[in-house]
């Protein structure tokens, strides 16, 4: 894959004494020590991260951790004191920190759009004209920009509100207008600075779902700032957690939850619900680890369930158990007494629903081969998170 955004050893320092502050950084001084000595504030220190095309990368951290400072360096809104921010432009990349003013304006207009937390709508313009505003600034004619803006309003479900002023919309609807305005610019990269944090929980969850649905349609590269870990786990392809201006862990949501790199990250994930992020593959008992006998695999020793070598027949105490294919996402749940066969990428939450309905373990198949099984031990492990290994869960039961 090709990185749409490549941040390399980035330092962002706010204040009049940037060079002295950088020298103090190199000496290992803390942010507070640098403020006291130079009056300058370190927003980002030695950050390196690649955001691949088509992914949603979520920057996480407490207030003041540097996540918004890093985000705003990507489109040049914050100064790049040292290091590089490379943004894909055609077959190459533009260094935002060293490009000229004309190139920066072009990048903002054609390559990188931004969605703000406070909506940033112009109250005197209609919804349609708000969405079309960036296109107008680019010199696009009225008929063409309105047509393009209407396409985006239809995509976010606000076509019937095109003539309304922002004051006539709810907060969630105003944020949809902001999304439509960003999408109307047809840039490949979206920067989203806590866009849903000002909304109530129900509207926020709805907009998260809508963003994921829109992303499936338009496949943008999104750098998303959030202070809500559940939000990050829900929408993030990858998550970067920041502390004191540094990126301290960057990886897949499952890796963040299961393998926190520092006590700070461990505290972050301690109260999250692992069922919202863990997949069957991460907690299954691998097929290779199952007890074998006469070419069969023991699926559940407690119940005495065995599976044939070809994975097509299961039996318990001499009686066959019907197998039923089941979609990993959505669809009908098999009936009680049957054994579900599904993908190892199934979410643990759905797998538990299936286990509850069927009262049987869940078989995980890939390329017509058994790759693992989810039994009650695995489900206990999911609910307990990282506090027990599967082996420990079995001993505890």
> Do the domain assignments include residue 172?
no
HSE-CB at 267 with a 13 A cutoff on CA atoms is 6
Where a domain ends, among 272, 298, 323? 272
Q: Which residues in the chain come in under a pLDDT of 50?
A: 386-397
Claim to verify: residue 284 and residue 381 sit in the same structural domain = yes
**DSSP annotation of 39:** S
> Do the domain assignments include residue 165?
no
Claim to verify: residue 296 and residue 257 sit in the same structural domain = no
Claim to verify: residue 248 and residue 293 sit in the same structural domain = no
Q: Nearest Cα to 227, choosing from 248, 201, 197? A: 197
> Do the domain assignments include residue 174?
no
Angle, helix 171-184 to helix 201-218, in steps of 10 degrees = 20
Claim to verify: residue 312 and residue 265 sit in the same structural domain = no
Q: How many domains does the chain have?
A: 2
Cβ distance 185 to 109 under 8 Å? yes
Give residue 363's pLDDT.
92
Q: Nearest Cα to 368, choosing from 345, 351, 343, 391? A: 343
Give residue 342's pLDDT.
92
Long-range CB pairs of 266-273 (<8 Å, 24+ gap) are 268/60, 268/229, 268/241, 269/229, 269/385, 272/229, 272/230, 272/233, 273/230
Q: Can you give the CATH number for the domain in which 201 is found?
A: 3.40.50.300
Number of H helices, E strands in the chain: 15, 20
> Do the domain assignments include residue 180?
no
> Do the domain assignments include residue 128?
no
Give residue 153's pLDDT.
87
Angle value at C-alpha 94, between 117 and 116, nearest 5 degrees: 5
Q: Characterize the bridge pairing of strands 339-342 and 323-325.
A: parallel
Task: Supply the pTM of this predicted model.
Answer: 0.78
Claim to verify: residue 245 and residue 381 sit in the same structural domain = no
Claim to verify: residue 352 and residue 302 sit in the same structural domain = yes
Where a domain ends, among 254, 272, 290? 272
Give residue 385's pLDDT.
60
Where a domain ends, among 225, 256, 272? 272
**DSSP annotation of 279:** B
pLDDT in tens, 255-304: 888 888 999 898 888 777 777 678 888 888 998 899 888 888 888 877 88
Claim to verify: residue 214 and residue 360 sit in the same structural domain = no
Instruction: Find the domain containing 191 and state its range.
Output: 3-111+187-272
Query: Phi/psi at 281 (nearest 5 deg)?
Result: -60, -35
Give residue 247's pLDDT.
97
> Do the domain assignments include residue 118?
no
Q: Please tell me the distance from the alpha carbon of residue 337 to that of residue 304, in angstroms, as a whole number.
A: 15
């Amino acid at each position: 894959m090709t990185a749409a955004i490549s941040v390399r050893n980035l330092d962002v320092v706010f204040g009049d004494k940037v060079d002295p502050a950088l020298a103090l950084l190199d000496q290992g001084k803390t942010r507070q020590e640098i403020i006291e000595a130079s009056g300058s504030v370190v927003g980002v220190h030695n950050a390196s991260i690649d955001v691949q095309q088509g992914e949603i990368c979520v920057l996480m951290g407490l207030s003041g951790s540097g996540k918004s400072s890093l985000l705003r360096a990507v489109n040049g809104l914050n100064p790049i004191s040292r290091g590089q921010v490379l943004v894909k432009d055609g077959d190459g990349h533009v260094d935002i920190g060293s490009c000229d003013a004309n190139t920066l304006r072009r990048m903002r207009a054609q390559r990188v759009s931004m969605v703000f937390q406070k909506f940033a709508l112009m109250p005197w313009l209609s919804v349609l004209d708000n969405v079309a505003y960036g296109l107008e600034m680019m010199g696009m004619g009225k008929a063409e920009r309105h047509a393009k803006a209407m396409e985006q309003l239809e995509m976010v479900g606000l076509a019937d509100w095109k003539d309304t002023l922002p004051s006539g919309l709810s907060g969630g609807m105003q944020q949809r207008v902001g999304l439509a305005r960003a999408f109307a610019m047809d840039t490949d990269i979206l920067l989203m600075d806590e866009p849903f944090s000002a909304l109530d929980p129900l509207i926020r969850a709805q907009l998260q779902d809508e963003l994921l649905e829109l992303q499936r349609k338009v496949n943008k590269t999104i750098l998303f700032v959030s202070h809500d870990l559940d939000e990050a786990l829900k929408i993030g392809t990858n998550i970067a957690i920041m502390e004191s201006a540094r990126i301290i862990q960057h990886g897949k949501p499952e890796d963040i939850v299961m393998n926190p790199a520092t006590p700070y990250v461990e505290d972050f994930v301690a109260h999250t619900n692992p069922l919202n992020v863990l997949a069957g593959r991460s907690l299954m008992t691998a097929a290779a680890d199952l007890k074998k006998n006469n070419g069969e695999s023991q699926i559940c020793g407690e119940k005495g369930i065995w599976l044939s070598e070809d994975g097509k027949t299961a039996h318990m105490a001499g009686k066959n158990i019907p197998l039923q294919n089941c979609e990993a996402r959505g669809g009908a749940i098999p009936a009680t007494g049957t054994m579900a066969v599904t993908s190892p990428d199934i979410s643990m939450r759905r797998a538990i629903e299936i286990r509850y309905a069927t009262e049987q373990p869940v078989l995980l198949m890939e390329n017509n081969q058994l790759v693992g099984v989810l039994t009650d031990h695995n489900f206990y492990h999911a609910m307990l998170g990282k506090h027990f290994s599967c082996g420990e869960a079995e001993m505890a039961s």
